[in-house]
Structure 1
């Protein structure tokens, strides 16, 4: 959940970018298809059509009652889904002031309905609407029978009053900056590019920037819960979505029905330390990929050892840094080291995408970086026409106000050197990726530890070889939450639910439906 890699599809942590799909079949492509579908359909989800009949839920304070008791109009938006927009205050301290809209989508339950299951794919900046569009693949038939699957774009994201900072060409240049600088000149270029990013966000989205932090998104979730007519929140969040869910539980512990936090982020870990831990996670995932690749018929490596294969990747990144790799796409981009790193990282989120990485590396070793660039475009949500979703901008805007970051470049330099020693391929890149936060026009507010005292049992899930949210973070979050229950998954890839483990899927389904929790610390084996 930092600012260099993100949940699929998306450029950082935990999160970047993107919705997390089931690993069965071509999961990476399914995620991309879900994102593309949302681009063309969500615009048609304007208010109109039938009024939904739900009980009125009492607001936590009287001033918010107009938001909690609103009755949005739901409209058919294709493929069995219904869409609506829900109003929330821009600033919860001033509920009578400016209002913004949150876009919401739902797939109605097919059987004996319990209520709504609110979902978030991560990011920050990932589209919950795109994620919900893939609900038939993301959730078991048991869950879809008992719950309306409800996705939403958090404030500042996608269709919900989005943050905008740069043009597409500017984003191409920003993402392509050398985030593993070798010279003083490269550091200066990175400083200037990061400062310009922050300045452009201030120029285009200043009124929104103070109000896109996770605390605000969690408060929006409670409004959504009430509008849906649920007396308690049932929620599944992945990666950054676990941070959002933990915030909700801390703010509204008595309104929690059941929360699944999968691919957990540990809020207690300082920002730069989290970057380093995440970079190590990607190194672990890369080694797991290489070990598997060495057994495959289409193995792209000449070496027969993990160390030798890593040396080949190092040489490839050096080549991209010094000369760039060829790009056959008609967009004029040079495949720099940063684009190549993103292309390698993207498939590490999902084991089913490893064959595509083998193919991309084979081409890249021959000097052609086109396939790596295509993979990188998935992560940063760059469309074929060269335009971007706002995931990169929202990701940075939310991260920079959620946690304190250093204001001095020297601190990033020292942290990058330390991270590079621990994670040679990804450490510096992840650390320098947070540099725009040094120039951010909005400072993060001080927050207390997240404990969620008074909430019922909360299920926290971690995968042992998760590249983006290491298993130790799940342990930390489960221990920090007053009612946290840890479930481990001994496997590869980012997040565990619907990753191929019947054990994990059954435990999650039983918990969401019946609120039965497993023994704390139970570990499910990889299928």
Structure 2
């Protein structure tokens, strides 16, 4: 798994249940970057789409080093502010990934923002370059991704390691075949430059933004490139820019281990827990289930896929994103442990990778890998990559190999980053609010602490809770502090704790 995303946290419970005023700063924003006048001169032409929403596209250069060359279009959607007076402007959002559709996020989740924000802001989502409807990258088809995700991602010997390397190489080659011209240009720094053009096209003098998970990384690099254009940025569930590509995955695996322990402690308090009477017994039972699926895949009543160890690990990890999903995870584990039936686990895993019932996938997986592989340098070969896997196996025995080996296609990626990006400081920016959740499975709390310190104007808000990201979980303390900051640009006191 190469995913740092919020989509599972915000929408998981629903999916599993089948179910301009005085607040605007008057300082002059950064001037138009050279050669980009025609892009910054655009005005978004909003048209009604899908009920109360409005849609638009904005043109940006594919290669910012050649603004006169090929262009692409960035897809946007907004839910207009409901208030007839007191409108502040646009609240841009990004749900994470990388690769998650910001357009779909706003369509499905915009009304989860507080009534105050809905009254005073247009809630705006966009698909970053390479994602969704914005010049999407194309890689493996549905059967190809089924093979990739079914391949043993915790190899026990050279034969299994070679098989994983072959599938990873095939993944990379398919992206080169389907999207060669776009692959070098889908990285976060370019997506952040696009954001400033979107801001101008929407008519906002400065940027107001809510970014979750990977969206914090995107927001931090936006602030670093355009510090004078920052009005208020909320970075919820932060990614630490100082981590290496494999370091991020090792630490993320540890986060899932922490979340599994928290789930186990909660599970054994219920009479419906299928994993034993103590948290230690429950965690051990999950380990045994993974070993069992490695030796003999679980049954699947939905389709022809075998529920291998990789699908089991992904299903568990997906449900750990959101505490509201824990009852579904208990049920799925009960079927797996008691009956050898992995149908519910693979159904939950499909939510993570956006696999549809007809066997096709959205482009989220392709975009996720494409952005990650060009954002940071990666190890030169599978053997070197395996050293990080060994580290992860020691510190996160259940999730380490699964999470870290998931990034192996980057070793074979045709578009290579030149160097490790300089960590953002956003010198000169207005205060930036960073929110960290203590037991976040996908973006460990230490990352939020780190990012708040790296940003010159970073302010840390801590949520003592479970699940991935904090704001949309509904904690009153987090909601009030965040809403006040977004509406007034005045952050809470650095070090405030909620929950």
| TM-score of the two chains, using structure 2 as the length reference | 0.95
CA offsets 1:435-455 (integer angstroms, 9 cap, x no match): 111111111132222111010
CA offsets 1:478-520 (integer angstroms, 9 cap, x no match): 0000100011000000000021310000000000000111111
CA offsets 1:164-213 (integer angstroms, 9 cap, x no match): 11110001001111110011100000111111111111111000000000
Q: 1:27 to 1:493 in 2, by over 3 A?
A: farther
Question: Is the contact between residue 247 and residue 450 of structure 1 (CA under 8 Å) also seen in structure 2?
Answer: yes
Query: Does the alignment pair 1:413 with 2:386?
Result: yes
SS in 1 for 2:97: coil
**Corresponding residue for residue 45 of structure 2:** 73
Question: Is the contact between residue 27 and residue 352 of structure 1 (CA under 8 Å) also seen in structure 2?
Answer: no
**Corresponding residue for residue 106 of structure 2:** 132
Residue 133 of structure 1: how far off its partner (Å):
1.1
Structure 2 counterparts to residues 114-263 of structure 1, below 5 A: 114-263=88-237
Size of the alignment, in residue pairs? 486
Most deviating of 78-87 and 228-237 = 78-87
- From 362, 368, 374, the equivalent of 1:401 is 374
CA offsets 1:273-292 (integer angstroms, 9 cap, x no match): 22111111100100111111
Question: Is the contact between residue 59 and residue 65 of structure 1 (CA under 8 Å) also seen in structure 2?
Answer: no
Q: 1:336 to 1:138 in 2, by over 3 A?
A: same
Q: Distance in 2 between matches of 1:250 and 1:13?
A: 23
**Corresponding residue for residue 322 of structure 2:** 350
Q: Distance in 2 between matches of 1:380 and 1:22?
A: 13
**Corresponding residue for residue 24 of structure 2:** none
**Corresponding residue for residue 85 of structure 1:** 57
SS in 1 for 2:235: strand
Residue 135 of structure 1: how far off its partner (Å):
3.6
Deviating 4+ runs (over 3 angstroms):
26-30
Residue 260 of structure 1: how far off its partner (Å):
0.2
List alignment gaps of at least 5 residues for structure 2.
20-28
**Corresponding residue for residue 405 of structure 2:** 432
Residue 430 of structure 1: how far off its partner (Å):
1.2
Residue 59 of structure 1: how far off its partner (Å):
5.6
SS in 2 for 1:63: coil
Question: Is the contact between residue 59 and residue 68 of structure 1 (CA under 8 Å) also seen in structure 2?
Answer: no
Question: Is the contact between residue 46 and residue 56 of structure 2 (CA under 8 Å) also seen in structure 1?
Answer: yes
SS in 2 for 1:229: coil
Q: Distance in 2 between matches of 1:137 and 1:27?
A: 14
Question: Is the contact between residue 30 and residue 228 of structure 2 (CA under 8 Å) also seen in structure 1?
Answer: no
Residue 312 of structure 1: how far off its partner (Å):
1.2
CA offsets 1:328-387 (integer angstroms, 9 cap, x no match): 01x310000001111101110000000000110011111100000100000000011111
Residue 309 of structure 1: how far off its partner (Å):
1.2
**Corresponding residue for residue 50 of structure 1:** none
CA offsets 1:384-410 (integer angstroms, 9 cap, x no match): 111100111100000011111101212
Q: 1:377 to 1:153 in 2, by over 3 A?
A: same
**Corresponding residue for residue 273 of structure 1:** 247
**Corresponding residue for residue 77 of structure 2:** 105
Q: Distance in 2 between matches of 1:22 and 1:441?
A: 33
Q: Distance in 1 between matches of 2:330 and 2:8?
A: 23
Q: Distance in 1 between matches of 2:248 and 2:11?
A: 26
SS in 2 for 1:296: coil
Q: Distance in 2 between matches of 1:106 and 1:211?
A: 26
Query: Does the alignment pair 1:513 with 2:499?
Result: no
Question: Is the contact between residue 339 and residue 376 of structure 1 (CA under 8 Å) also seen in structure 2?
Answer: yes
- From 261, 264, 267, the equivalent of 2:238 is 264
Q: Distance in 2 between matches of 1:265 and 1:443?
A: 21
SS in 2 for 1:104: strand
Query: Does the alignment pair 1:377 with 2:345?
Result: no
Question: Is the contact between residue 467 and residue 493 of structure 1 (CA under 8 Å) also seen in structure 2?
Answer: yes
Residue 123 of structure 1: how far off its partner (Å):
0.2
User: What RMSD in Å do the two structures reach over aligned CA positions?
Assistant: 1.5
Residue 300 of structure 1: how far off its partner (Å):
1.6
Q: Distance in 2 between matches of 1:313 and 1:97?
A: 53
SS in 1 for 2:96: coil
Q: Distance in 1 between matches of 2:391 and 2:49?
A: 50
SS in 1 for 2:36: helix
Q: 1:118 to 1:20 in 2, by over 3 A?
A: farther
SS in 2 for 1:264: coil
Residue 81 of structure 1: how far off its partner (Å):
0.1
Most deviating of 313-322 and 462-471 = 313-322
**Corresponding residue for residue 333 of structure 1:** 305
SS in 2 for 1:487: strand
- From 386, 399, 418, the equivalent of 2:359 is 386
SS in 2 for 1:463: strand
Q: 1:29 to 1:110 in 2, by over 3 A?
A: farther
Residue 19 of structure 1: how far off its partner (Å):
6.2
Q: Distance in 2 between matches of 1:18 and 1:61?
A: 33
Question: Is the contact between residue 8 and residue 322 of structure 2 (CA under 8 Å) also seen in structure 1?
Answer: no
Q: Distance in 2 between matches of 1:22 and 1:342?
A: 17
Q: Distance in 2 between matches of 1:138 and 1:414?
A: 42
SS in 1 for 2:294: helix
Q: 1:492 to 1:501 in 2, by over 3 A?
A: same
**Corresponding residue for residue 4 of structure 2:** 14
Q: Distance in 2 between matches of 1:19 and 1:513?
A: 27
Most deviating of 314-323 and 65-74 = 65-74
